[in-house]
Amino acid sequence: MKTIGSRLKEARKRKGLTQIDIQKATGISSGNLSDIENDKSMPSAAALISLSRELEVSIDWILTGEERFAIEPASPERKASGYSDIDLSPQDIEFFAKVKQLTKENRIKVEGIVEGLLISQDSNPQGRTGASSRSTNGYEREEAAAKSKLA
C-alpha cells in the first residue's frame, strides 16, 4: 500500500522536480519535504495545499491515493446560499478538518455556538464581517443557537 510520502515523491518525480524545486515553489524546506516523503512526518494543511497546486494533484489523491470527486462549478443552491465564492485559508481548512472529526452531536453544538456568536455579532454592526443570516444547513440562526444552549 502506497503512503502519502511515496505518492508525493512519485508525483514530484513524474513532473521532473527536485526537492529543491519544490522548496523554492512552495516554501516547504527540503528537509521537511524529505521527512514527509519518507513518512517521518505528515504534511500540514498549508503544505498539502501548496503541494497539491505545485504537483497538480488533488489533496484527496495525496491523502488516499484515490480521486474522490471532480471539482464542479457551484450548484445553483450553493450560489443562492451565498457561500459559493468563499476563499478558505489553510487555517480554515485545518479548523474544518477538526470539526469533521467530531461526533454529529458535537458538530451540532459547534454550529450552535457559531450561530450564537453570529447573532450577537449581527446586533453589534461594528463587529460584523459580512456573515450570512442563514447557516449552511438551512437552520435559522436562532434555532441553532437554541440547540447550543440546550446542550
What CATH number labels 4-64? Answer: 1.10.260.40
Backbone angles phi and psi of 140, in degrees to 5: -70, 150
- Whole-angstrom distance, CA of residue 42 vs CA of residue 63: 10
- Whole-angstrom distance, CA of residue 73 vs CA of residue 22: 29
133-144 pLDDT tens trace: 444 444 444 455
Locate the domains of the chain by residue range: 4-64, 102-150
100-124 pLDDT tens trace: 888 989 989 988 898 888 888 877 7
User: How many other CB atoms are found less than 10 A from the CB of residue 138?
Assistant: 9
Say what the pTM is. Answer: 0.47
